[in-house]
Amino acid sequence: MNAIPEQFLQSVQAKKAAIKPFPASTKIYLQGSRPDIRVPLRRIDQSPTQTSQGPVANPPVYVYDTSGPYTDPEVEVNLTKGLPPLRARWIEERGDTEVLPDLTSEYGRKRLDDPTTAHLRFPNPRRPRRARAGANVTQLHYARRGIITPEMEFIALRENQNLQAMKEAYGQRIHPGQPFGAHLPEEITPEFVRQEVTAGRAIIPANVNHPESEPMIIGRNFLVKVNANLGNSPVVSDIEEEVEKMLWAIRWGADTVMDLSTGKHIHETREWILRNSPVPVGTVPIYQALEKVDGKAEELTWEIFRDILIEQAEQGVDYFTIHAGVRLAYIPLTANRVTGIVSRGGSIMAKWCLAHHKESFLYTHFEEICEIMKAYDVAFSLGDGLRPGSIADANDEAQFAELKTLGELTRIAWKHDVQVMIEGPGHVPLHLVKENVDKELAECYEAPFYTLGPLVTDIAPGYDHITSAIGAANIGWYGTAMLCYVTPKEHLGLPDKEDVREGIVTYKIAAHAADLAKGHPAAQYRDNALSKARFEFRWLDQFNLSLDPEKAQEFHDETLPQQSAKVAHFCSMCGPHFCSMKISQEVRDYAEQEIEIGMQEKSKEFLQQGAEIYRKV
Amino acid sequence: MNAIPEQFLQSVQAKKAAIKPFPASTKIYLQGSRPDIRVPLRRIDQSPTQTSQGPVANPPVYVYDTSGPYTDPEVEVNLTKGLPPLRARWIEERGDTEVLPDLTSEYGRKRLDDPTTAHLRFPNPRRPRRARAGANVTQLHYARRGIITPEMEFIALRENQNLQAMKEAYGQRIHPGQPFGAHLPEEITPEFVRQEVTAGRAIIPANVNHPESEPMIIGRNFLVKVNANLGNSPVVSDIEEEVEKMLWAIRWGADTVMDLSTGKHIHETREWILRNSPVPVGTVPIYQALEKVDGKAEELTWEIFRDILIEQAEQGVDYFTIHAGVRLAYIPLTANRVTGIVSRGGSIMAKWCLAHHKESFLYTHFEEICEIMKAYDVAFSLGDGLRPGSIADANDEAQFAELKTLGELTRIAWKHDVQVMIEGPGHVPLHLVKENVDKELAECYEAPFYTLGPLVTDIAPGYDHITSAIGAANIGWYGTAMLCYVTPKEHLGLPDKEDVREGIVTYKIAAHAADLAKGHPAAQYRDNALSKARFEFRWLDQFNLSLDPEKAQEFHDETLPQQSAKVAHFCSMCGPHFCSMKISQEVRDYAEQEIEIGMQEKSKEFLQQGAEIYRKV
């Protein structure tokens, strides 16, 4: 591990590629009910359509923006200072937290005093905040008391994505969707957000120690979200790279990131990420716990784990994956599996349980965990430690036994007003995907589902972003609230920056496909705008409206690099004299001018008569 | 257009990358009932599992092999000679065809005599074959007469993929699937093949002038197939490149290829491809017709089109996409679409219909087209000229009006014993995908469905192999028989070799995901074998069993290039001291050795009692 080059982290200017705004895009803010509720959106401007009557303007398209202040030219960001604490005043105003004089966790204090890591340490740490004695500071707690927090209002504005403007501009031929059990309102209101949180159907990961985060929501009656995993390992990667990956991930659209580091300096890496992350950050605390016992799972104790929870909660981690559903009795159910236990957290806890022949300390201390979580508003992501690691093991007894326990734990967490989501598989063939959602909703009382993929086949390592995106689009459609991305390197190696980009864009596709299929009110406008641009040969608009404008343009340039081709009324697939879009435009003009109503009437009449010239044979 | 470098095309040795056998793979042949029925499969050998009791062998895995004689070291292939005519004897023995002294088509003869293209011409053409007067030489015709052709027997052996051997080796935990309307037998027999062809539920594209092709079947009660589009355009690409792309496509698993060339030398390109292609070749004859009238759709005539059908049928094209369902009355139904008519063939015919204000000549001459097709056994791929080009236009009146007409035409083709499949969309949101299959099966009397994607969102140009693979996996599961691949360049440019690879592997994933979900009897064994290898850290076996062994290994090497890492019991994601697979193996050993039956009993008992320690809250 080398020291962090100060000049590298000092300024975001050094990381231009990771924060470069997208073309034709401007960051705008929707104003909420109070001056400090300013909700970021990205506005994409378009060129006009050229018609025989002259140019006709195409209204801008507004899209959800996860990139944070980095893409706002008004905000000067310095990675060593961290982001401005957007939510600090809201948290403070509630008056139910206090700033602590010191870190509560033993390990946190130890790291702070360690001279050997001084050069790696984030130079401007925040003092930790915690609920006052007896207070509960979770968004669920407020929601249940009828309070609409600024976070909830922020989310309502954000989810709508300037709905009215988009509807007016691109509201033609919108499909109603098939939402299964989802209940999508015509417009998201702050009160709707509150109700969904109250019901436990949605969570707002928002640790009081992560005031830099821009509020977002995870629930099946909202936009499907995407998580990107980061994290170093003993083999490769370091702090600098992880921070850059985080910046890169939010640029491409990650709604949350998980820091899954397992190497040294987990603590320091996480601090750098949190202070600079505008999206919620999740972790798997057991990974760090295992580091402390030198990889010997059987030496883990509740005390070690507890200290880590507090350490991470005071740094600002917004949700914890906790594999409390791996119970002693379920472990033998995995013995005949093709791929046993593939979850890292699950296998650690399984080993501990067997070594001690005791129920997991995560399970037996679950109420104490809740006590910690509610003092900081850390949400649970109840881990699926027994998820299937292969098609053969999908939907088996071990998996569903654990799911039932996760439901039991959900009720306990809710008793403490702690927010909960449930993790899901894994590897599942297409026809068994829906059962996962149906069971999760039933067994876990509609707590939001958060799934990895699932991969719909095992036979394509190197392409598992795709095998899993197929499962992800489907499971999102059926009701999963957040999708954990998978990169092309899954099963093979650690993702580099390009893999992160590929993984996120792939998962934005899956999430958007699910939103369209559910009939999310704000989903289809972007498709309509892009398709209109495509049909009208507005090449740059087509690129700019896409999920990855840079790649779209790069691919187009490979065949037709000339600038003139960007305004050409043809493309490289058919060439200038043979273009269906062009012919189709002629057909449209012809149909509209020459035939008009008469022909359309005639055609309807013809259709009603059975539309056949040949008689049935 | 440059001359073809003779030395380049002379020997396949020059195209090593395109024909290189996969690692640990051997081409084997299953012997049929007669010596010349030899069905190729690829056998993948594996290393043994290392156990404390010593090595335990892992049986080989057999996979469907589309690569043709190129990967057989016993066969010497020379591209200027073409492939050996595998089916020639079968065709001859039937005694219902005759070899013609000359090409029948005017254009074919003209091209043969053209000195300016002599240097581009395939040097060893075959003399054309045609049905004797009054004979019908289609596989459907034979099937209906109760004849099991060698082609049908070949297909039965091929589809089973050495089922019994695979079942014995990897038959654990097989999921039964959800086949919707499919009826998958436990084992594919020649008689089953015949029955499916008879019912029109499957087709065997097998032009008597393409004896080089290895028989394959397209039908929803068989493995889902993948088609790869090739084809030059006036902007780029030439013969040499197209031949190489074909070789490349079949190496990665394309079951058929379509030559969609629109530039000059369409005729010559097609000849090179056909003489060297072991998979059926499809075309869209209207593209060539349009070339002949210099791109002026309104100047097309039945006579021009007819001559092209004969020209291509005598070259050996196995199926023709014909957009005979684009009827005059349907065209105004597209006028208010967001993206009008996006099918090239559809827009050409629409323009013709409007210009003449007449019913399309493809529709009015349909019976004559059937007469030509049955004399060579060319199958119909009835084109979806009015398919939606955007999410907004999915499943609209124009699309479904055309589909109804395609059903009407199917019955006419069947009257002539001509084989038929039906093309499908396009751009469709996930929740509207199934309706496409259900309607197609109903309106077109269960003729096999052959779809492009569909793309489930419009917003990701540059990633449309993925947006469409999501739709493709689903539509395959619902009952689509063949998937037309989409490459990352879709909407942006012409695919290069790497795009073809990416597109095909992506579509093999979609097809396999569909086979798994339908419960195809031969599908899951490969997943089980690969997952077993993964669980046992047999890295090379894992790579070798995958759809793209080269990419899997390359990705692994990026993080852990050392040869030792290929036998290491860990991977780069977690490092040597922190590996869930490793821990899981320990758990398994522990569970098996220490606890055995007693604990499993106890755990079942525990589960039956409700599996809760905490009481309900």
Token readout for A494 is: 């650690």
Considering only CA atoms, which of A213, A255, A256 is closest in space to residue A87?
A213
User: Residue B539: pLDDT above 70?
Assistant: yes
Distance from CA of A73 to the nearest CA of B (A): 26
Which chain A residue is nearest to residue B539, measuring alpha carbons?
A492
Q: What are phi and psi of A256, to 5 degrees?
A: -140, 165
| CB-based contact B172 A363, cutoff 8 Å | no
Per-residue model confidence as pLDDT tens digits over A45-86: 999 998 888 899 999 999 999 999 999 988 888 899 999 999
Can you tell me the mean pLDDT for A413-422? Answer: 98
| CB-based contact A366 B614, cutoff 8 Å | yes
pLDDT of residue A395: 98
Residues in chain B closer than 8 A to A613 (CB atoms): 359, 363-364
Q: Is B134 helix (H, G, I), strand (E, B) or coil?
A: coil
In the DSSP assignment, the letter for residue B333 is G
Distance from CA of A259 to the nearest CA of B (A): 13
| CB-based contact A552 B585, cutoff 8 Å | no
pLDDT of residue A568: 63
The pLDDT-based confidence of B614 (bands split at 50, 70, 90) is very low
Ranking B92-106, B123-137, B234-248 by mean pLDDT, the lowest is: B234-248
Q: What are phi and psi of B411, to 5 degrees?
A: -65, -35
Considering only CA atoms, which of B345, B349, B427 is closest in space to residue B388?
B427
More confident site: A117 or B83: B83
More confident site: B9 or B509: B509
Residues in chain A closer than 8 A to B530 (CB atoms): 458-459, 461
Token readout for B478 is: 């619902």
Which chain A residue is nearest to residue B395, measuring alpha carbons?
A175
pLDDT of residue A611: 45
Can you tell me the mean pLDDT for A341-356? Answer: 92
Of B177, B343, B576, the CB nearest to A580: B343
Handedness of CA A44, A484, B431, B183 (dihedral sign): positive
Average pLDDT of chain B is 90
SS3 content of chain B, % helix, strand, coil (to 5): 45, 10, 40
Of B173, B338, B411, the CB nearest to A338: B173
User: Is B287 known to sit in a ligand binding site?
Assistant: yes
pLDDT of residue B562: 72
| CB-based contact B335 A592, cutoff 8 Å | yes
| CB-based contact B599 A401, cutoff 8 Å | no
Of B297, B532, B611, the CB nearest to A405: B611
Of A178, A457, A506, the CB nearest to B527: A457
Residues in chain B closer than 8 A to A404 (CB atoms): 611
Per-residue model confidence as pLDDT tens digits over B1-37: 456 666 666 666 657 777 888 999 999 999 999 999 9
Average pLDDT of chain A is 90
pLDDT of residue A612: 45
Q: Is A75 helix (H, G, I), strand (E, B) or coil?
A: coil
Can you tell me the mean pLDDT for A11-16? Answer: 65
CA dist., res. A380 & res. A309, Å (int)? 12
Distance from CA of B558 to the nearest CA of A (A): 8
More confident site: A283 or B494: A283
Q: What are phi and psi of B389, to 5 degrees?
A: -105, 10
Task: Dump the DSSP string for B335-393.
Answer: TT-SS----HHHHHHHHHHHHHTS--HHHHTHHHHHHHHHTTTPEEEE--TT--SSGGG
Per-residue model confidence as pLDDT tens digits over A151-201: 999 999 999 989 999 999 999 999 999 999 899 999 999 999 999 999 999
CA dist., res. B449 & res. B436, Å (int)? 10
Chain B contact probe: residue of A357, A555, A558, A592 with most B CBs at under 10 A: A555
User: Residue A16: pLDDT above 90?
Assistant: no
Pairs of CB atoms within 8 A across A/B: 510
Chain B contact probe: residue of A573, A577, A614 with most B CBs at under 10 A: A573
Chain B contact probe: residue of A458, A465, A499, A572 with most B CBs at under 10 A: A458
Of B390, B431, B506, the CB nearest to A463: B506
More confident site: B402 or B563: B402
User: Is A501 known to sit in a ligand binding site?
Assistant: no
User: Is A265 known to sit in a ligand binding site?
Assistant: no
| CB-based contact B235 A559, cutoff 8 Å | yes
CA dist., res. A176 & res. A182, Å (int)? 13
Considering only CA atoms, which of B62, B61, B57, B76 is closest in space to residue B19?
B76
Of B409, B462, B513, the CB nearest to A456: B513
Per-residue model confidence as pLDDT tens digits over B214-225: 999 999 999 999
More confident site: B40 or A124: B40
Residues in chain A closer than 8 A to B463 (CB atoms): 505-506, 509, 547-548, 551
More confident site: B607 or A339: A339
Which chain A residue is nearest to residue B615, measuring alpha carbons?
A408
More confident site: B440 or B594: B440
pLDDT of residue A589: 72
Q: Evaluate the omega torsion of the peptide bond into residue B426 and state whether it is cis, within 30 degrees of 0.
A: yes
User: Residue B545: pLDDT above 80?
Assistant: yes
Of B236, B344, B603, the CB nearest to A332: B603
Per-residue model confidence as pLDDT tens digits over A203-219: 999 999 999 999 999 99
CA dist., res. B390 & res. B458, Å (int)? 6
- pLDDT cut 70: percent of chain A above it: 88
The pLDDT-based confidence of B612 (bands split at 50, 70, 90) is very low
pLDDT of residue A614: 41
Residues in chain A closer than 8 A to B443 (CB atoms): none
Q: What are phi and psi of B451, to 5 degrees?
A: -115, 150
Residues in chain B closer than 8 A to A534 (CB atoms): 339, 389-390, 458, 491
User: Residue A610: pLDDT above 70?
Assistant: no
Per-residue model confidence as pLDDT tens digits over A530-564: 999 999 999 999 999 999 999 999 999 887 777 66
| CB-based contact B583 A347, cutoff 8 Å | yes
Can you tell me the mean pLDDT for A84-98? Answer: 98
Per-residue model confidence as pLDDT tens digits over A477-492: 999 999 999 999 999 9
Strand extents, DSSP E, B118-215: 129-131, 202-203
Which chain B residue is nearest to residue A287, measuring alpha carbons?
B578
User: Is A328 known to sit in a ligand binding site?
Assistant: no
pLDDT of residue B602: 56
User: Residue A452: pLDDT above 90?
Assistant: yes
Ranking A383-397, A451-465, B92-106, B219-233 by mean pLDDT, the lowest is: B219-233
Ranking A300-314, A586-600, B288-302, B339-353 by mean pLDDT, the lowest is: A586-600
Distance from CA of B46 to the nearest CA of A (A): 15
The pLDDT-based confidence of A5 (bands split at 50, 70, 90) is low
Ranking A309-313, A592-596, B252-256 by mean pLDDT, the lowest is: A592-596
- pTM comes to 0.94
Which chain A residue is nearest to residue B474, measuring alpha carbons?
A430
pLDDT of residue A261: 82
User: Residue B577: pLDDT above 60?
Assistant: no
CA dist., res. B372 & res. A120, Å (int)? 77
Ranking A10-14, A289-293, A489-493 by mean pLDDT, the lowest is: A10-14
Residues in chain B closer than 8 A to A343 (CB atoms): 580
> How many CA atoms does the CB half-sphere of A185 hold within 13 Å?
14
CA dist., res. B222 & res. B497, Å (int)? 28
Residues in chain B closer than 8 A to A524 (CB atoms): 391-392, 429
Can you tell me the mean pLDDT for B66-94? Answer: 94
